[in-house]
Amino acid sequence: MPEDTAPADLTTMRFSRAREAQSMAVLEDYAEMIDDLAKQMGEARITDIAARMGVTHPTATKAVARLKREGLAVSRPYRGVFLTELGAEMAARVRMRHRVVVDLLIAVGVPPETAEIDAEGLEHHVSEATLKAFEAYLAKRG
Amino acid sequence: MPEDTAPADLTTMRFSRAREAQSMAVLEDYAEMIDDLAKQMGEARITDIAARMGVTHPTATKAVARLKREGLAVSRPYRGVFLTELGAEMAARVRMRHRVVVDLLIAVGVPPETAEIDAEGLEHHVSEATLKAFEAYLAKRG
DNA sequence: ACAGAAGTGTAGCCACGGCTACACTTTGCA
DNA sequence: TGCAAAGTGTAGCCGTGGCTACACTTCTGT
Ligand SMILES: [Mn+2]
Ligand SMILES: [Mn+2]
Ligand SMILES: [Mn+2]
Ligand SMILES: [Mn+2]
């Protein structure tokens, strides 16, 4: 085995972390989007959530059901969806991280439109440590 | 609607792209891993693939079945798994991209161990345009 | 040579995130 | 005011990627 290869158990841990991060991605994106809609439209309706996510309304309903199950949102039949305090905190955190990721990409030379697109997937795999490093890099750059 | 917000249909496209990228992630990671194992051990066995991915062997078997279905690998019962030419090309591309992502993270100040971990998830959402930008940045930095 | 260990296949379970189809409720307008 | 349009709920399908349990094959060491 080449010495530039990490031990197998460290490799395994990397994959586990990536899977774990991915399992949060849907939750994070919906939380942020519901918060966006609440700010822009006054409330987040299932149809609007679905339209923005690019999915059908039953898919959005299922995602919201998961958010509710995890204590991140509440809703009553035929009414809008609202974030709990926990959900709002997640939304704020996710929005900030998203912005930092986009800014960093642009700072290292990625075209802004591309940065926006790629960030939507990248953001969910940026750890706290990496986020801090990004912020430090951006601060240093002014 | 605030003017710092992208049109809804662009937002929708971002999410679609992220989902699409994600659907390739498993394929990419397995292709790279099978290639690793072929180089390090002579051949890629289901048990070894599973162990490194941190999953059980039936899970690895299913992933390999998908690789075969997509023309990226071949195998015969109770024998090892081998990449096709297409699969080997994907593995090479994925390995290169992984390395660039890790290098870029380190270049902007992310601790190397963290860079390795985060890159495992990030890599799948780095587009060609972003990869080129990363390479340019790294080249400029020497 | 063969028995036990190791490896592999496969059935069948689950959660998730897509979808269509259809029923029901709410909204809005003539 | 009431009816049509819009919105929502829900059942049920699929593919994917996890898992356990168990059967079968291959390998290995005595
Ligand atoms: Mn996202
Ligand atoms: Mn985002
Ligand atoms: Mn990966
Ligand atoms: Mn990788």
Q: A118 vs B125: CB contact, 8 Å cut-off? A: yes
| pLDDT tens figures, B20-46 | 999 999 999 999 999 999 999 999 999
Task: Look at residue A2 in the predicted model and tell me its pLDDT.
Answer: 40
- Indicate the pLDDT class of residue B5, thresholds 50, 70 and 90: low
Ligand nearest to the CA of A124: 1
Q: A72 in helix, strand or coil? A: coil
CATH class of A7-140: mainly alpha
Task: Look at residue A8 in the predicted model and tell me its pLDDT.
Answer: 72
How long a stretch of residues is chain A? 142
Per-residue pLDDT of chain A (142 residues; tens, 9 = 90+): 344 556 778 899 999 999 999 999 999 999 999 999 999 999 999 999 999 999 999 999 999 999 999 999 999 999 999 999 999 999 999 999 999 999 999 999 999 999 999 999 999 999 999 999 999 999 998 7
- Indicate the pLDDT class of residue B89, thresholds 50, 70 and 90: very high
Task: Look at residue B62 in the predicted model and tell me its pLDDT.
Answer: 98
List the single residue in A6, A8, A122 with the smallest CB-CB distance to B116. Answer: A6
For chain B, how big is the Rg over CA atoms in Å?
18
Task: Look at residue A1 in the predicted model and tell me its pLDDT.
Answer: 37
Q: What residues pair up with A44 in beta bridges, in sequence order? A: A81
